[in-house]
């Protein structure tokens, strides 16, 4: 058996029975925030269940990849893998979040420039196509691989070992440290990350421009304004023309009534 460290959880604690139970509970609670976010959306912009599943499943695949990568990397050490997992997680939630945002922006620009319509995040066609969802999942997973690779390189910088020794050294109970590292902190941070990333990858779906028959794009607000003008203008012209005819008719009648009548007497 691996020697137990002076403080923190021992080697293999993350994959033990208690650690796996905490991870399952974390997954259930974290992804429930995405369900809550859907019900908090306005009814006019609320996604159908199929679209919602396509959007959130990309995050689920990416989050599972990051989680198991952190567990694998943290379990390589024999000294307090909990603190190393926490360092990985904090870097993922800060620097990693910036890398994810940058990756989504770059990939979105490339697919729009190449006109790969089904690879635009949040666009699945009408009706939604599973092939588009699979392609977007692959792209999002590649972004996660890029993010985790950069974070792993950052961890090679000297100085993290000293931080690892003092990060959770004030917690004497290894079970309490495991709960804090594998459930409490990840749940709070994951809830925020899921909410932000879901808004990022569904933005094209919510603010989707429409293409008219002439090839020009119109925003929904501009289209509604134009429709309202079209609906109002004929009635206004019709009423105005009728009113002009009525006024001209009244004027003509009054002029006839005012004209004097002459009789010729021979």
**What pLDDT does 39 receive?**
86
Q: Domain span at residue 145?
A: 13-205
125 within some domain: yes
pLDDT tens column, 80-138: 788 888 888 889 988 998 999 999 899 989 988 888 887 888 888 888 888 989 999 99
The per-residue pLDDT for 255 is 54
Q: Domain for residue 130, yes or no?
A: yes
> pTM (2 decimals)?
0.66
- Residue 103 makes CB contacts below 8 A (sequence gap 6+) with 143, 146, 147
- Banded pLDDT at 79 (limits 50, 70, 90): low
In angstroms, rounded to a whole number, what is the distance separating the alpha carbons of residues 83 and 14?
11
Is residue 77 in a domain?
yes
Report yes or no on 253 lying in a domain. Answer: no
Query: What is the pLDDT averaged over residues 205-230?
Result: 45
Alpha helices (H) in the chain, listed in sequence order = 17-40, 49-74, 81-93, 95-113, 130-154, 160-167, 174-179, 185-201, 203-206, 220-258
Radius of gyration of the chain from its Cα atoms, rounded to whole angstroms? 33
Token representation of residue 23: 């991870």
SS3 category, 158: coil
62 assigned to some structural domain: yes
Q: Which of 85, 91, 83 is nearest to 71 (CA)?
A: 85
Separation of alpha carbons 80 and 83, rounded Å: 6
The CA-atom distances, in angstroms, between 155 and each of 14, 159, 182, 233 are: 19, 9, 20, 66
Q: Is residue 21 part of a domain?
A: yes
- Given this model, what pLDDT does residue 163 score? 76
Q: What is the mean pLDDT of residues 9-18?
A: 78
Q: In this structure, are residues 140 and 61 in contact, taking their beta carbons and an 8 Å threshold?
A: yes
CA distance 199 to 33: 13
On average, the pLDDT of the chain sits at: 75
Domain count within the chain: 1
What DSSP line would sit under 76-96, residue for residue? T-SS-HHHHHHHHHHHHHTHH
- Residues in CB range of 70: below 8 A, 6 or more apart: 85, 88, 89, 92
Residue 139 CA from chain centroid, whole number? 15
């Amino acid at each position: 058996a691996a020697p137990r460290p002076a403080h923190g959880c021992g080697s293999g604690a993350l994959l033990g029975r208690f650690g796996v139970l905490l991870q399952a509970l974390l997954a259930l609670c974290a992804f429930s925030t995405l369900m809550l976010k859907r019900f908090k959306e306005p009814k006019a912009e609320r996604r159908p269940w199929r679209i919602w599943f396509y959007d959130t499943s990309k995050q689920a695949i990416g989050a599972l990849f990051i989680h198991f990568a952190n567990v694998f990397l943290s379990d390589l050490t024999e000294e307090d893998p909990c603190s190393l997992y926490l360092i990985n997680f904090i870097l993922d939630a800060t620097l990693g979040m910036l890398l994810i945002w940058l990756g989504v922006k770059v990939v979105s620009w490339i697919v729009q420039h190449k006109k790969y319509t089904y690879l635009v995040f949040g666009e699945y066609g009408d009706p939604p196509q599973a092939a588009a969802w699979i392609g977007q999942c692959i792209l999002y997973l590649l972004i996660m691989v890029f993010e985790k690779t950069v974070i792993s390189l950052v961890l090679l910088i000297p100085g993290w070992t000293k931080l690892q020794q003092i990060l959770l050294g004030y917690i004497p109970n290894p079970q309490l440290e495991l709960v804090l590292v594998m459930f409490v902190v990840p749940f709070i941070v994951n809830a925020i990350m899921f909410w932000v990333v879901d808004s990022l990858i569904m933005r094209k779906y919510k603010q989707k421009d429409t293409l008219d028959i002439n090839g020009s794009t119109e925003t929904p607000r501009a289209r509604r304004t134009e429709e309202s003008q079209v609906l109002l203008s004929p009635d206004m012209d019709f009423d105005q023309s009728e009113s002009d005819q009525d006024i001209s008719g009244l004027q003509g009648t009054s002029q006839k009534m005012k004209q004097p009548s002459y009789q010729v007497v021979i």
